[in-house]
Amino acid sequence: MPGASTAYLLDKAAAGERLYFDEALQIYQEAELTELGMAANAVRQLRAPGRIVTYLVDRNINYTNVCTVNCQFCGFYRPPGHADAYVCSRDDLAQKLDELVEYGGTRILMQGGLNPGLSLQWYTDLLDWMRSNYPTIERDCFSPTEIANIGALSGLSVRDVLIALQEAGLEGLPGGGAEILDDDIRNRVSPKKQKTDGWLSVMREAQSLGLNTSATMVIGFGETLEHRIRHLQRLRALQDYSLSEHGNGFHAFIAWTLQHSEMTSAGRSRHRDQYGATAHEYLRHIAISRLFLDNILHHQASWVTQGPKVGQVSLAFGLDDFGSTMLEENVVSSAAHHTHMSMLEGEIHALIRDAGYIPAKRDTAYNLLRIFEHEEDSPAPMPINYQSRSVGLPVEPQMEVIPLHSSLN
């Protein structure tokens, strides 16, 4: 509708109608934050109605920090041969998985760097070992970037790699490595990394094989609002295709803000003040995402980067999932000093209840495992694990970060 008012477009979106690119851009630029939140929450009630807010009990395991990509926003990686480089041993993994089982966890999310020393056989052996020894733990492992790297090292297609991993026990792919799905941004902040079409192609193949997948996004690279909406548009187009062709697409969408400090190239750049995004920008973005991504059912909070209280507020901006306990987190926390590294179930319950919702434990595919209808059913809240983190700086070529423009929109 040419010349439509922002109020009209908000009403259109809140009613569940699809937004075009220019309409989403207009809303992003002009709508008041509270109006955005109300519209996004209306859509949340259309897509995932009720007062239930879900969460997952899982653990992130970063099996190796060896990487050859040198992303300018990463403080986690170490180049091959570095003194701090590691690959987790089976004993280390067993200890982490034993702890997860003891805590009642249901999933492991495993990601690492692009390690040139690990073969496809290493990955299939690892998955088979986990399936044999920890059959109750879901295995969501290896981002699209890692999958493509395994294929390049082994000389196999992405599909053949995914089939081999799936046969060994892989159940899903995390959505890591998406950042901004626009090569203008990727060529600037991660020029060696997988491009936009590559990330989408891996996810397309994974969805065709019935694997669980999630979609992610990181804002705060100095990108324009147009870049952000193009990212969402590409996710929506892939979701349309995969649901139509395979009946299987992204289970959830998760967005967060870039974390950086002197532990990353971006944080040491003279342009560092132009990177990152505020809590206000985060709330605007998740609301727009809920309105635009009309075919992705679940939208997840990022309390790890935003903090528990902003995570709680975000439930009023279209989100229906509080994320996971994340009993371990290493990548985001290696990019900034102050991150929330883990949270126990009781604290998640308390935050969800204080926001006026009912907590429910789920699995990766959003099947409900238990609804905690009454407060007395919830475990007692424990203090949030909020701590400073200081790590050694990665050894890397000194690369200047050149922003596309002088400020964020």
Spatial contact of 348 and 55, defined as CB atoms under 8 Å apart: yes
User: Which of the 8 DSSP states describes residue 372?
Assistant: -
| pLDDT over 70 at 392, yes or no | no
pLDDT at 327: 72
316-368, pLDDT tens digit by residue?
999 999 999 877 544 444 434 355 557 889 999 999 999 999 999 999 999 99
Spatial contact of 368 and 362, defined as CB atoms under 8 Å apart: yes
Lowest mean pLDDT segment, chosen from 63-77, 139-153, 258-272: 258-272
Half-sphere exposure of 112 (CA within 13 A, CB side): 23
pLDDT at 81: 87
d(C-alpha 140, C-alpha 127), whole Å:
10
Section 65-93 average pLDDT: 85
| Helix (H) or strand (E) run with residue 217 in it | strand 212-219
304-325, pLDDT tens digit by residue?
888 899 999 999 999 999 999 8
Phi then psi dihedrals of residue 19, to 5 deg = -95, 140
- Give 260's pLDDT tier (boundaries 50, 70, 90): low
- The tokens describing 93, both together, are 């993994």
Spatial contact of 129 and 90, defined as CB atoms under 8 Å apart: yes
Lowest mean pLDDT segment, chosen from 45-59, 293-307, 311-325, 384-398: 384-398
pLDDT at 74: 76
Q: Which residues lie closer than 8 Å to 100 by C-beta, 6 or more apart? A: 57, 58, 59, 108, 137, 327
d(C-alpha 259, C-alpha 337), whole Å:
9
| pLDDT over 90 at 183, yes or no | yes
Q: Which domains does the chain have, with CATH numbers?
A: 19-388 (3.20.20.70)
Lowest mean pLDDT segment, chosen from 42-56, 77-91, 259-273, 375-389: 259-273
| pLDDT over 80 at 269, yes or no | no
- Give 378's pLDDT tier (boundaries 50, 70, 90): confident
User: b/e map of 176-214 (b: 16 or more CB within 10 Å)?
Assistant: bbbbbbbeebbebbbeebbbbebbbbbbbbbbeeebbbb
Higher pLDDT, 237 or 81: 237
